Amino acid sequence: MVVVVNGQEHGIEEGSTVARLLNELRLDAQPVAVELNGGLVRKMDYANTPLSDGDRLEIVTFVGGG
């Protein structure tokens, strides 16, 4: 199936979760905020939030410098 991550199409295995997607994007250890179809997904829910074909995600990385 295909989901849209930050405006770009991303192919991912059927039945994948948000956690799996973050792992594929190598973002699972980084401070990120995830919005799925316009709603916040909490970190504790990453592993039990399944993705569906056509889902739209915005994933924002927070950086700490300044």
Partner 1 sequence: MSDPRYARQALFAPLGQEGQRRLSAARAALVGCGALGTHLAEQLGRAGLGFLRICDRDFVELDNLPRQVLFDEKDAADRLPKSVAAAEKLRRINSALQVDSRIVDVTAANVEALIEDVDLVLDGTDNFETRFLLNDACMKLGTPWVHGGCVGSYGQVMAILPGDTACLRCWLEHLPPPGSGPTCDTAGVLGPAVGVIAALQAAEALKILAGRRDAVHRGTHTIDVWTNIHQTIGAKRNPDCPSCGRKTFEFLAVRAGSLAMTLCGRDAVHISPAAPARLDLADLERRWAALGRTSRNPYLARLEADGCELSVFSDGRAIIKGTEDPARAKTLYSKYVGA
H or E element in which residue 3 lies: strand 2-5
How many residues line the site for partner 1 (CB under 8 A)? Answer: 20
C-alpha angle 46-47-48 in degrees, rounded to nearest 5: 95
40 sits near partner 1 (criterion: CB under 8 A): yes
Measured CA to CA, the distance from residue 64 to residue 35 in angstroms comes to 20
The least distance separating partner 1 from the CB of residue 14, rounded to whole angstroms, comes to: 26
Q: Does 26 bind partner 1 (CB under 8 A)?
A: no
Binding site for partner 1 (CB under 8 A): 6, 29-31, 33, 35, 38-40, 42-44, 58, 60-66
